[in-house]
Structures are given as structure tokens and as C-alpha cells.
Amino acid sequence: MMQRTLVLLKPDAVERALVGRILARFEAKGLRLAGLKLIQVTPALAERHYAAHRGKPFYAGLIRFITSGPVVAVCLEGRKAIESVRRITGSTDAAEAAAGSIRGDFSSSNRFNLVHASDSPESAAQELANFFAPGELVDTSRESLRWLYDLSEGDPL
């Protein structure tokens, strides 16, 4: 099933100049860019994005970090994109993330963990709406999927 998901390349990814290498991993998997922009996250946007974590002990630090420098907001599209992107990203605590994942290969922090990725279809829809206006997302042409999936039976296989 084709899905869209929100990925944020956090301030550590931008400052450490890892943006290109991280995006390359998602692109290599066949995930398509549907939206991409460099933004400074405001406190209001950070609080909306991390509303589910309000009240947790790490909440204040999380808001401070995500607003501490520019982030790259990305909408990725692909078959089973939400779980696929989560697997490529690796588990939250980068010290424990699997080797081969972005966090496993490039971080050992539980906060400076480089990437945020939506964890369900509901949060993907909400988070994409928080970061992108509908006109900022582009539709992937069927032609561009031609060698990523078998399209001969209708739905991408």
C-alpha cells in the first residue's frame, strides 16, 4: 500500500552535514520525495508536533533541541513507507539502534538521534499537516514508479 510519512532531519543532522547521506538512504530504498524544505521550527510548531510527549520528563529538552537550529522537513512516499522509514531510521536510543540503520550508524545519543519519523498512519497524516500545506506536496507520477514496483497488475507490487 502506498503511504506518505513525515521525516524530520533534526538540527544535529543539519549541523553535522549529514543531510545528503541520510536522504540518500531513503532515496536508495525507492522512497520518493513528495515534499522537502529547510525550516526553523518555532516553539508553537514544536509543541504541536510533540503534543503526545507533553508532561514527560524529557519534553522540555526535546522542544529545546528541535528548535535549536534548522531542520529539514521531508515527506516520503512509497509502499509501506511508514514502517519502512522507521526500520531505516532505527530505534529511538541510537546507542541501541541496529547497525545499518541511520541512528545505528551515525549517533549514540537518545536525544541527538538525527531523525524523526512518523510511527502510524494517524500520526503521519497529522504530522504532515503540521509541516506542509497541501500545495507544498507533489504527486508522484506513475512513470517515476515504473522500475521501483511492478505496476502491471494495478497496485504497485
Strand order in the sheet with 71-79: 32-39, 71-79, 2-9, 115-117
Has 49 been annotated as catalytic? Answer: no
Longest dimension (CA), the chain: 51
Q: 8 vs 145, which CB is nearer to ligand CMP?
A: 8
Which amino acid belongs to residue 153? E
**Phi and psi for 114 in degrees, rounded to 5?**
70, -40
Q: Which of 116, 118, 124, 145 is catalytic?
A: 116
Q: 53 vs 142, which CB is nearer to ligand CMP?
A: 53
Count interface residues toward ligand CMP (CB under 6 A): 8
For position 111 contacting ligand CMP by CB under 6 A, the verdict is: yes
Q: How far is the CB of 57 from ligand CMP (least distance, A)?
A: 7
Distance CA(45)–CA(86), nearest Å, equals 22
Query: Could you list the active site residues?
Result: 116
Residues at the interface with ligand CMP (CB under 6 A): 53, 58, 62, 92, 110-111, 113, 116
